[in-house]
Amino acid sequence: NHAVPIPGRTHFQRAMPSSVGLWAGAFAESLLDDIQLLQGTFRLIDQCPLGSAASYGVSIPIDRQYCTDLLGFNAVQNNVLYANNSRGKFEAAVLHALVQIMNDLSKATTDIIIFSAPEFGYFVLPEKFCPGSSLMPQKRNPCPLEIIRAKSAVLQGLLFQNLEIVRALPSGYNRDFQETKRPVMQGLEITGMSLRVFFQILSELQVDKEVCIDAFTPELFATDQVLKLTSSGVPFRDAYKQVAKNPENVSENDPVANILSKKHLGATGNLGLSISNAKIQDAQHWVDLEQKKWVDVLENLRV
């Protein structure tokens, strides 16, 4: 369905030709950026705090690097006071990355809810994900998508809860820190569950190609007409004014040909999916390496 045209919108008003592929690809790239945020967060927190004790080290000759290597951390968290001061900061970094994922899911679910409504009809949701109304027998509601959207707000609340807990603490260990763990655990659980449900729905989402094409009206091609006139030598302002007088009279009316004609990188006719696929492979390779590293550490500790 990547080449199925749909009206693109700005300010939620009909704007220019778009496609299902461009829409879906935008979220794929955004989630790939979220993976980079997660990787950056992982690198930040991949430090071993052991040996910092209550915030000021100990008077026995411990080898902190040995503990770090044995447990598979990337580095020692050097300053023993900062090892405690960073509590809450590292949790917030994790939650911030999770918030970005949930914000992407929130936007995607909103689009799907709108585009699957009868007034649009571009998408058809699987019935098993659309329970009925407790009162209105004709209703089928996109409840799982709505819950995912609401959970994105819950994640933001968890992030700010964590930030507020540590905002005004003095240096050194404080018992307040124990309250920073629950938001992280909840955030991980909510995000993982939301991703699983979202991709299950997405895998069964249907696209009504005929409805998508029928949704096109002449004014959606107005900008392309302006650019066509400009390419032929008409000054942009003149071309803009000329088309603006009667945008409904634009001659172009083939949405499929229109989206396929835009060949520059990232446009509807050249989505650059190979770039995204390469990023996916890189991310999977990174996950595989970290998982193997973790398994090896556990095996060594059992010896």
DSSP for 189-229, written as a single string: HHHHHHHHHHHHHHHH-EE-HHHHHHT--GGGGHHHHHHHH
Mean pLDDT of 128-145: 90
What is the structure's pLDDT at 300?
Answer: 86
Whether the CB-CB separation of 18 and 268 falls below 8 Å is answered with: yes
Q: Judge whether 94 and 45 are in contact, CB under 8 Å.
A: yes
Which residue among the candidates 106, 133, 194, 264 is catalytic per the annotation?
Answer: 133
pLDDT score recorded for residue 249: 86
pLDDT band (50, 70, 90) for residue 137: confident
Tokens linked to 171: 């240096």
Q: Is the predicted pLDDT of residue 263 greater than 80, yes or no?
A: yes
What is the mean predicted confidence (pLDDT) over 267-296? 96
SS3 66: helix
**pLDDT for residue 6 is more than 90:** yes
Domains of the chain: 20-214 (1.20.200.10)
The whole-number average pLDDT for the span 237-258 is 92
The pLDDT of residue 277 = 97
pLDDT confidence of residue 252: 79
**How far is 131 from 129, CA to CA, in rounded Å?**
6
Percent of the chain with pLDDT over 70: 100
CA 66 to CA 300: how far, in whole Å? 13
Task: Give per-residue pLDDT as tens, 116-133.
Answer: 999 999 999 999 999 988
Whether 11 sits among the annotated catalytic residues: the reply is yes
Name the nearest CA neighbour of 8 among 24, 23, 25: 23
Tell me if the pTM is above 0.85: yes
pLDDT at 188: 98
Active-site residue, selected from the candidate residues 2, 11, 194, 261: 11
Residue 134 among the catalytic residues: no
